Amino acid sequence: MQALTIVLAVLAAAGIAAAVGIAAWFTLRAKQNGQQAQSAQEQAKSVLAQAEEEKRKLLLAAQEEVLKLHNTAEREVKEQRQELNRLERRYLQREEHLDRKAEQLERQQNSLSEKESQVQETLSELEELKVQQLQAVEKVASMSVAEAREMVVKRGEEEAQHDLSRRYYELEKEHKARADERARQVLTLAINRLATDVVSESTTSVVSLPNDEMKGRLIGREGRNIRTLEALTGVDVIIDDTPEVVTVSCFDPVRREVARLTLEKLIADGRIQPARIEDMVGRAHAEIEQSIWKAGEQATFDTGVSGLDPELIRLLGQLKFRYSYGENVLKHVVEVSLLSGMLAAEVGANIQVARMGGLLHDIGKALTHEVAGPHAEIGADLAKKHGVNRAVCTTILEHHNDDHETVESFLVAAADAISAARPGARKESLEQYVKRLRDLENTAVSFKGVERAFAIQAGREVRVMVKPDDLDDVGSAVLARDIARKVEEDLVFPGQIKVTVIRETRNVEYAR
């Protein structure tokens, strides 16, 4: 505002100066020009008058402007002062409110401190009461807290184990019913589609003679004929007092078959001498070898398996002269191959792998007299050596295992068990049979709570009678599972054995 006043004053002074200059110029002109002097003086006076008037107006305008600006400034200052006063009052009110809050918080903190002290005192009293109560309970119960805790934990574990066993029993029963139904359908379809001989062949080791005079001719002078035959065939020819019978003994069934065939040819020909014996042995070898090849090729044809190495086919043919528990091994592998293929078709597995694995699963038995080791490992190595794929080698290796890498391996093991478990498929000596039954009963009786055990159905089932006071129904289910597992681990048996646990409670009262 002061700057504006100064600017106006400067402008007014500049106007006056300009007017004075003009008047001086006219005066000078008047002096120079006498004729115009009077006119110039008048004009100068007029200009001065106008300049004074303009000066007065400018000063008035400047004063009015200054006054207006002053009033505006005072009004703004007043409004600002009022705003400041309002803010100051608001801040004062907030400060008072905060002071009240602080006082209230301080009072609450003091109250909480007092309550905390009371709570601590109460907790101390409760701890003392707890100790007194525990001492009183221990005195009444005659046991410490640790013993009571251990008893409770033990009881909880027993109850939990009982509940888990019961739940396991229910789930096992439910899933077993479903699995048994499906397995029954699959196995029934596979077995019904396969028709094989029930009675197994037995090893032929006896040669009939037309008369007892033939025994002397077989022995020859000083026993040269029989020594030549035994040296060429590797068998023992037993000639005893049994009428019209000669027994051939050898661990190798192929050699035994060669010797038997040679004896039959010699007896039919009638000319028995070392040179003739050597000729007949050669012919018998050729016939047996041809028979082996035909048997191997027929086995592959019957099972629909192709692409086998010729050496594997020859070894398959050798199984024709080998027996296991009185069962012909070649017929067994053909049966297992067909069963494996049918089972694979029912469950959607690889049929070709299952068939080839079933056909070759006992191929190692052809070399068990020549190579040491389990026949499953021998067979797997032999198949791998002759270019059989890994899946088939796995089925050969695992057909006696509990764990199986592939579905086809499991199916071959199942088919092997089915074939071996058929009525009449296998036979064993009376001593082995009785020993197996006795071992089965002893294994079942070895468990706690078992009263008696009976092996029935030719060792296919064991029935276990338990003490009803020692085991409940859930415990009986667990016992059946444990007995079955121990039988699998400790005993050797064909097929499967059914474990039946019977728990019976009898209550007897007399009416008098």
Q: Which helix (H) or strand (E) holds 451?
A: strand 450-456
What's the pLDDT score for residue 31? Answer: 63
Map residue 309 onto helix, strand or coil. coil
Is residue 340 predicted with pLDDT exceeding 50? yes
Last residue of a domain, one of 402, 421, 440: 421
C-alpha–C-alpha distance, residues 245 and 291, integer Å: 25
Give the residue-averaged pLDDT of 300-316. 87
Which amino acid would we find at residue 491? Answer: L
Q: Give the total number of structural domains in the chain.
A: 3
What's the pLDDT score for residue 197? Answer: 47
Tell me which of 183 and 363 has the higher pLDDT: 363
Which pTM value belongs to this model? 0.46
Q: Do 122 and 241 belong together in one domain? A: no
Is residue 155 predicted with pLDDT exceeding 70? yes
Query: In this predicted model, what pLDDT tens digit does every residue of 203-246 receive, in sequence order?
Result: 446 787 888 788 788 888 888 888 888 888 888 888 877 777 88
What's the pLDDT score for residue 200? Answer: 40
Last residue of a domain, one of 421, 449, 483: 421
Count of other CB atoms within 10 angstroms of residue 248: 23
Map residue 374 onto helix, strand or coil. coil
What's the pLDDT score for residue 426? Answer: 52
Confidence of residue 201 (pLDDT cuts 50, 70, 90): very low
Is residue 303 predicted with pLDDT exceeding 50? yes
Residue 324: burial class (beta carbons within 10 Å; 0-12, 13-18, 19+): middle
Contact 474, 455 (CB under 8 A): no
Q: Do 211 and 339 belong together in one domain? A: yes
Tell me which of 143 and 316 has the higher pLDDT: 316
What's the pLDDT score for residue 37? Answer: 58
Radius of gyration of the CA atoms of the chain, in A: 61
Q: Do 406 and 462 belong together in one domain? A: no
Contact 453, 475 (CB under 8 A): no
Is residue 198 predicted with pLDDT exceeding 50? no
Could you tell me which of 399, 417, 430, 415 has the C-alpha nearest to residue 460? 417
Contact 277, 229 (CB under 8 A): yes
- Facing residues of 465 across strands? 452, 502
Give the residue-averaged pLDDT of 337-360. 87
The tokens for 370 are: 């020549």
Q: Do 351 and 495 belong together in one domain? A: no
Residue 207: burial class (beta carbons within 10 Å; 0-12, 13-18, 19+): buried
Which residues form the domain of 75?
A: 2-131
Contact 334, 302 (CB under 8 A): yes
Q: Do 403 and 460 belong together in one domain? A: no
Q: Do 412 and 435 belong together in one domain? A: no
What's the pLDDT score for residue 315? Answer: 87
C-alpha–C-alpha distance, residues 210 and 218, integer Å: 12
Contact 318, 406 (CB under 8 A): no
**Domain presence at residue 172:** no
What's the pLDDT score for residue 19? Answer: 66
- Facing residues of 499 across strands? 462
Residues contacting 249, CB < 8 A, separation 6+: 205, 235, 236, 237, 238, 256
Give start and end residues of each alpha helix (H) in 348-429: 351-360, 375-385, 390-397, 407-421
C-alpha–C-alpha distance, residues 283 and 285, integer Å: 5
Helices (H) and strands (E) in the chain, counts: 15, 8
Give the residue-averaged pLDDT of 167-184. 70
Could you tell me which of 237, 234, 257 has the C-alpha nearest to residue 246? 237
Confidence of residue 495 (pLDDT cuts 50, 70, 90): low
**Percent above pLDDT 70 for the chain:** 80
Last residue of a domain, one of 74, 107, 131: 131
The full DSSP string for 36-74 is GHHHHHHHHHHHHHHHHHHHHHHHHHHHHHHHHHHHHHH
What's the pLDDT score for residue 199? Answer: 38
Write the CA distances from 510 to 25, 507, integer angstroms: 168, 10
Contact 455, 483 (CB under 8 A): no
Give the residue-averaged pLDDT of 462-488. 87
Count of other CB atoms within 10 angstroms of residue 215: 18
Give start and end residues of each alpha helix (H) in 402-472: 407-421, 430-445
Tell me which of 195 and 459 has the higher pLDDT: 459
What's the mean pLDDT when you consider all of the chain?
Answer: 79
Tell me which of 76 and 504 has the higher pLDDT: 76
Confidence of residue 6 (pLDDT cuts 50, 70, 90): low
Q: Give strand ranges (E) for 288-407.
A: 323-324, 327-328
Q: Which helix (H) or strand (E) holds 248?
A: strand 245-249
Give the residue-averaged pLDDT of 472-489. 87
- Facing residues of 236 across strands? 249
Q: Do 349 and 469 belong together in one domain? A: no
Give the residue-averaged pLDDT of 351-379. 81
**Percent above pLDDT 90 for the chain:** 2
Q: Do 366 and 454 belong together in one domain? A: no
Give the residue-averaged pLDDT of 463-467. 89
Write the CA distances from 290 to 212, 293, 295, integer angstroms: 32, 5, 9
Residue 211 is given by DSSP the state S
The tokens for 288 are: 């047996």
Q: Do 266 and 359 belong together in one domain? A: yes
Confidence of residue 202 (pLDDT cuts 50, 70, 90): very low
Residue 231 is given by DSSP the state H
**Domain presence at residue 497:** yes
Confidence of residue 189 (pLDDT cuts 50, 70, 90): low
What's the pLDDT score for residue 12? Answer: 64
**Domain presence at residue 156:** no
Q: Which of 12-16, 19-23, 501-505 has the highest mean pLDDT?
A: 501-505
Give the residue-averaged pLDDT of 146-170. 76
Supply the CATH number for residue 474's domain.
3.30.300.20
**Domain presence at residue 157:** no
**Domain presence at residue 153:** no
Query: In this predicted model, what pLDDT tens digit does every residue of 368-420 receive, in sequence order?
Result: 666 667 788 888 888 888 888 888 888 888 887 777 888 888 888 888 887 77
Q: Do 491 and 374 belong together in one domain? A: no
Supply the CATH number for residue 401's domain.
1.10.3210
Query: In this predicted model, what pLDDT tens digit does every residue of 71-100 receive, in sequence order?
Result: 888 889 999 999 999 998 999 999 888 988
Q: Do 405 and 449 belong together in one domain? A: no
Q: Which of 9-13, 37-41, 161-165, 285-289 has the highest mean pLDDT?
A: 285-289
Is residue 299 predicted with pLDDT exceeding 50? yes
**Domain presence at residue 383:** yes
Write the CA distances from 416 to 235, 322, 382, 454, integer angstroms: 32, 17, 19, 27
Q: Do 21 and 111 belong together in one domain? A: yes
What's the pLDDT score for residue 427? Answer: 47
**Domain presence at residue 15:** yes
C-alpha–C-alpha distance, residues 316 and 314, integer Å: 5
**Domain presence at residue 168:** no
Sheet-wide strand order for 498-503: 450-456, 461-466, 498-503
